[in-house]
Amino acid sequence: MTEDEYAELLQYTRGVVMESRRGDLDELLTGAARRIEMPTARRQLLRYLHGLRDEMRLGSDETARRTMRRLAHVRTESGGAVNGIVLDVMPADQSVYGAATIDLMGSPELDTAVQELDELIAMLGEGEEPWG
Q: What is the tens place of the pLDDT at every residue in 72-115? A: 888 888 988 888 888 888 998 888 777 888 777 767 777 888 89
Q: Is 98 left (phi over 0), alpha (psi -120 to 50) or beta?
A: left
> Which segments of 19-129 are extended strands (E)?
86-88, 101-103
Global pTM value: 0.66
**Domain-wise residue ranges, the chain:** 1-60+107-132, 74-106
